[in-house]
Structure 1
Amino acid sequence: MDQHENLQKLQRSFAAIGLNSAYIDKQLRELVFEGKPGSVFEDWERPGLDYRFMGHLEKDAAGRLFLQHYDAGIVPHLRNVSPGNELVARAEQNALSIYQSFEAAVPAESAVRLLNLQVEQPALFTEDQAMTPITPKDVFRVLAGQEHQHIAYPNLNAMNEQNLNFLTTNLKYLGFDEKVTEQMSRKIAEQAPDFKINTQVQHFNNSMDYTLHFKKSDQSDMYFFNKFDARLTNGKPEEDKTQTFYIKNGHGFTAKEAFNQLEGRAVFKELRNKEGQPYTAWSKLELALEKDKNNNYPIRQFSNGWGYDLEKSVNRFPVKELNDPEQKAALLKSLQKGNQQQVTIEKDGKQEKFYLEAVPALRTLNIYDAQRREVKRDSLLKPELKVKKEKKEDQSEDQKQTRKKSRGKGI
């Protein structure tokens, strides 16, 4: 894994818990390219209170940085606060002791809620407990209104904590928010044999409805998240599109990648075959074909042998972002995820905004203007490629005329 990949992985880790500001990115870049462990900071200002987060980065065996855990603290600030704000008054009184260490999978919003609870209950944790990273499971216990040393659901003690952390991390990686994680934790705590969680995400004029399926093992307390159903709607029921996406050992398409595929775009992904072996390919739903017996669209895949070179396709156009290595890497990664990615292209001497979309089936790109209207690719080629194409077309026309003359002489 190179530095750019390490940076992107760290950015995903921080974004998964809700810490994804430009300031965080700046600090991560500095640490990654210096190649040394360290800490990054983020401050949140809320009415009456400030929250500080400090993420601690360590190196793994391969020398890559990862988020080991983070600390969060609460500090009162009294600007623009109405008199008599009891929460602020308590925070001011206990400011020096309101902090807690959290495991890397705990959402920042959950940390804020737990810190607010500590304002009201200063003795909730001892100083030693505050210094020990708290797990997502324990955060759920406390926020559910239970004392730290006692659990409302007896069966939760028997549950494999690693299982809950694994599922929590998977949900964040797949793009599902904290509400989904909290619902899952609650259902697992209740020891439901199987359950579903519904959630919805808006995408401009479209809506994505997701139904996540969880099932408890017949042999243990372990739970599995093996699939989710996705439905794309635009207000016209007859145009709804649905597909079931399967998760294998935590690997699968994210919520956003599912949306992109239901919109007709292809996604490049590391997948798993039936034997669990990894392979990479572009995947595209054949939305124009009939669904199978499971009500799913056929999937067409384009492996490396297909010969689609995304970077080469993008390089045919004077894209400004290609001049910066980091922006170039981010652009290619976004296109691989199936996004319509905005770029800057020089046209007729002016810098204009366009959207690119990977089209592996044709080994090319689709290009759209700022209003999402499709643009002819040839009109945006690099000048030297335009000249080459025009010369090739002229030669082809000359050959065509020569063949016509030859046939005329033979009559």
Structure 2
Amino acid sequence: MTIKENIYELQDRLKYSGFGETMNKELEKQIKAKKNDFVLDMGKEVGDKKLDYSLHFRRSDEGKYYYNGFDAKLTLSDGKEQTHRFYQNQGISAKEALNLLEGRAVFKSLFNKEGERYNAWLQLELGSKDEKGQHPVTQYHQNYGFKLEKAVSELPLRNMNSPEQLDLLLYSLKKGNRHEVDLEGNDSRFLLEANPKYKTMNVYDLSGKRIKSSVLKEVQEQVKGEAKKDSQTKNRSKGMKV
């Protein structure tokens, strides 16, 4: 592989990982300088929070450069920080790192020691750190029992009329996003996130306040009752036709 091909390969990797193209020139400069290893830094504002990334690269004995992963630091409005190192074999994107540092879970396809692929939800234990200063990562394996599609189907969602809309919602939730949705019986919008640990969904209003499950159950029962009435009305109407 030529230096030019190596540069293009790494630039594509950064773009695919959600870091864009802003570091392309500096990446090329560092590789052409033939350093054994180097770090590229970038930061951005996320609302009232700040997110900083440090991307690590290393040169092999054969002269090829590899992307080894990145450190992410989330600084909250009160100055509190959350940090973690994400390795390249985890396949975590820039946005997924933010979601993990904010405490949400991300769905990934991984490989075990035997090289076999499996699916799992990953979540950082933000309340503790190991001897390396890293947050332990909890995995909720595909056999753990959390079924995202089932959990979503049990919610009284409105305006979810097409397979495309549902696919977009599921894709977003697997990335660890809080996704805006509409609920039956309410004109306000809400935020939905996956909670694999408790095999359920978390629902918030747009200010970030958690909606109690009891309130959601009331809405669900109301929607079921109205659907039953509509069905009975339609059946009576059919029975009256001559």
Normalized against structure 2, the TM-score is what?
0.85
Mapped partners of 2:72, 2:110: distance in 1: 19
Aligned residue among 333, 340, 344 for 2:182 = 344
1:243 pairs with 84, 87, 94, which one?
Answer: 84
SS of alignment partner, residue 270 of structure 1: strand
Closer, same or farther in 2 for the Cα pair 1:216/1:268, shift >3 Å? same
Amino acid at match of 2:164: E
1:268 paired to 2:104: no
Alignment CA distance shift 1:159-1:276 (3 Å):
farther
Does 2:61 correspond to 1:183?
no
Partner of 1:366: 202
Tell me the secondary structure at the aligned position of residue 172 of structure 2. helix
Which residue is equivalent to 1:172? Answer: 15
- Which of the two has higher C-alpha Rg? 1
3-state SS of the aligned residue for 1:305?
A: coil
Task: Please state whether the residue corresponding to 1:231 is helix, strand or coil.
Answer: strand
Secondary structure at the counterpart of residue 265 of structure 1: coil
SS in 1 for 2:187: strand
Seen in structure 2, the aligned counterparts of structure 1 residues 246 and 274 have a Cα distance that, compared at 3 Å, is farther
Larger relative contact order, structure 1 or 2 (CA cutoff 8 Å, min sep 6): 2
Contact 2:55 2:70 in 1 (8 A): yes
Matched letter for residue 334 of structure 1 = S
Q: 1:235 deviation in Å?
A: 4.1
Contact 1:196 1:212 in 2 (8 A): yes
Aligned residues: 223
1:136 aligned residue = none
Matches within 5 A, 1:247-396: 247-248=88-89, 252-274=91-113, 276-289=115-128, 291-347=129-185, 350-381=186-217, 382-383=220-221
| Structure 2 CA distance for aligned equivalents of residues 161 and 274 of structure 1 | 33
Q: Distance in 2 between the 1:342 and 1:314 partners? A: 13
Structure-1 separation of matches of 2:115 and 2:84: 22
Distance 2:133 2:159 in 1: 40
Structure 1's 267 and 274: CA in aligned 2 closer, same or farther, altered over 3 A? same
* One-letter identity of the residue aligned with 1:356: L
> 1:174-209 CA deviation, whole Å, 9 max, x = no partner?
110211222111211222211000101211111111
Structure 2: runs of 5+ lacking an equivalent: 226-242
Contact 1:175–1:256, Cα closer than 8 Å, also in 2: yes
SS in 1 for 2:143: helix
- Work out the CA distance in 2 between the residues paired with 1:281 and 1:188: 35
Equivalent pair of 1:210/1:229 in contact (CA under 8 Å): yes
Q: SS state of the match for residue 146, structure 2?
A: coil
- 1:228 and 2:66 equivalent? no
Q: Which amino acid aligns with 2:211?
A: V
Alpha-carbon distance in structure 2 between the residues aligned to 1:160 and 1:182? 14
Specify the SS of the correspondent of 2:103: coil
Question: Contact between 2:159 and 2:182, CA under 8 Å: does it hold in 1?
Answer: yes
Find the aligned partners of 1:343 and 1:221 in 2 and give their Cα distance: 49
Q: Deviations over 1:99-120 (max 9, x none)?
A: xxxxxxxxxxxxxxxxxxxxxx
1:192 is matched with which residue? 35
Amino acid at match of 2:83: T
**Preserved contact between residue 37 and residue 57 of structure 2 (Cα < 8 Å):** yes
Q: Identity over the aligned pairs, expressed in percent?
A: 39
Aligned-partner SS, 1:167? helix
Letter in 2 for 1:311: E
Aligned to 2:60: 217
1:208 aligns with 2:46: no
When the two structures are superposed, what TM-score results if normalisation uses the length of structure 1? 0.51
| CA–CA separation in structure 1 for the residues paired with 2:221 and 2:77 | 43
